[in-house]
């Protein structure tokens, strides 16, 4: 399943960078200050390949920290093509996505994938 491939890849690469930032599929009941959320926002199956769009949300204490974390995640996700299940990882866009209802700083990176 592509979700777990991405989750494991991001966790491994963050650990390799000596960063202990948790990565989740949904916001936990008591979230830490800094964390990443992975969400599949769309996809299809075409010519024996899956094409999926994912959003990676980087939460942090300040807007600058969320932006810096977003840059790290963008680099890690771009390298996900090293995984045998992923043949393409293309950055669609990334931007300030601060949650105004909870007043939590976050950035969002949207990627389009081709995978098996």
* Chain segment 71-113, per-residue pLDDT in tens: 999 999 999 999 999 999 999 999 999 999 988 999 999 999 9
Question: CA 16, CA 44: separation in Å to the nearest integer?
Answer: 32
Which tens digits make up the pLDDT trace of 5-26? 999 999 999 999 999 999 999 9
Long-range contacts of 24-27 (CB under 8 A, 24+ apart): none
Identify the band that residue 116 occupies on the pLDDT scale cut at 50, 70 and 90: confident
d(CA 71, CA 93): 12
How far, in whole angstroms, is CA 30 from its chain's centroid? 20
**Domains of the chain with bracketed CATH:** 2-115 (3.30.2000.30)
Instruction: Tell me the pTM.
Output: 0.95
């Amino acid at each position: 399943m592509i979700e777990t491939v991405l989750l494991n890849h991001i966790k491994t690469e963050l650990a390799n960078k000596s960063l202990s930032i948790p990565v989740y599929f949904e916001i936990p009941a008591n979230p830490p200050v800094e964390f990443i959320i992975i969400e599949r926002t769309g996809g299809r199956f075409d010519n024996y390949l899956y094409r999926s769009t994912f959003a990676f949300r980087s939460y942090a204490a300040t807007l600058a920290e969320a932006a810096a974390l977003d840059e790290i995640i963008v680099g890690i996700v771009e390298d996900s093509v090293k995984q045998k299940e992923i043949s393409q990882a293309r950055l669609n866009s990334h931007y300030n996505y601060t949650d105004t209802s909870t007043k939590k700083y976050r950035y969002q990176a949207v990627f389009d994938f081709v995978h098996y």
